[in-house]
Structure 1
């Protein structure tokens, strides 16, 4: 039997595309996610769409706000699993681990936003739970922020550090083209 891999698409919601989200990297991330999503759908492999639902009133991800909706070009099909989360980690109080185990899915490919928050948090847990994880570097993105010492860091610097934090210990890092060749 062919080894299937689940594609985990994290927080690709309308609110992530708003200019108020801040300076970001990987402007081609959405296009790369679409290419991977299309490949997964053609193979009939499992896709999980993760949606952040904020507990903070006024957040663009508050229930009922347009920012909480999936980006239309990445919206789930009726046959695809949707996980709602309230914290960065998609495994916390979501049933995701059980859903994957019931389907004997041990290999995960993670894409989405933001590399330094929900992606990193979810991937660390997945690795700790024993899943084999690949993070697609050019199908993830993050935002600029200040480091703990108050030094401004570009989105590209934050992204690179998050990938370095994950590589080898929690996941392998790959490109969209590497993933598509692998399929």
Structure 2
């Protein structure tokens, strides 16, 4: 795997509000936070660009709404912001894709000549997946660090239920099989940038 010197790590919605289990329900991948932290460290240590994305929910009861403590980044993310050797971008959004936030992620990446994007964060099958899909549609080479994401059990139409693990697998199959992104493990990415 070849990761460019200017490949951007996009850290999607790693916010305190996702710790509220009573709101979200059971989650998968207990190692995700460790893997996300490792990716941030690897990117910052090699001077590669890092994008920190925060979801500002418009739902009044959301743990991610502005003005609520859950809107803030998790502590391990907040303490890493501004510490890298390379460029950094902070953006906010109120929809699923980081490419539809403020400031304009696509414009920032193109201005800096970035062609490769690595996606990590929360939720696997929601904002992380949507960011990867849109990135692929825009022509970026997208790597999706599956083990540096997590999601929650969910209920769909007709009472259909899927576990967080089933949803993560569906995301991996859709992204990889659909050609949106290359689904990889964080250790592969960290080894490739050293």
- How does the TM-score come out when normalised to structure 1? 0.94
Aligned residue for 2:121? Answer: 112
Q: Write out per-residue CA displacement over residues 29-52 of structure 1, whole angstroms, 9 at most, x where no aligned residue.
A: 000011111111110111001000
Distance in structure 2 (CA, Å) of the matches to 1:128 and 1:64: 33
Distance 2:101 2:40 in 1: 25
In 1, are the aligned partners of 2:54 and 2:93 still within 8 Å (CA)?
yes
Unaligned runs of 5+ in 2: none
1:27 counterpart residue number: 30
Secondary structure in 2 matching 1:143: coil
- What is the SS of the residue equivalent to 1:137? strand
Residues 28-37 or 56-65, more deviating: 56-65
Tell me how large the CA RMSD over aligned residues is. 1.4
Gaps of 5+ in 1: none
> Aligned equivalents of 2:158 and 2:138: distance in 1?
32
SS in 1 for 2:159: coil
Q: Which residue of 2 aligns with 1:154?
A: 163
Instruction: Judge which range, 56-65 or 135-144, deviates more.
Output: 56-65
- Hey, what's the Cα distance between the residues in 1 that align with 2:21 and 2:59? 20
8 Å contact 2:92–2:101 — kept in the other structure?
Answer: no
2:151–2:167 contact (8 Å) kept in structure 1: yes
Q: How many pairs are equivalent?
A: 182
The answer to whether the aligner puts 1:182 opposite 2:154 as a matched pair is: no
Q: Which runs of 4+ in 1 moved over 3 A?
A: none
2:87 aligned with 1:84 = no
Task: State the 1:148 CA deviation.
Answer: 3.2
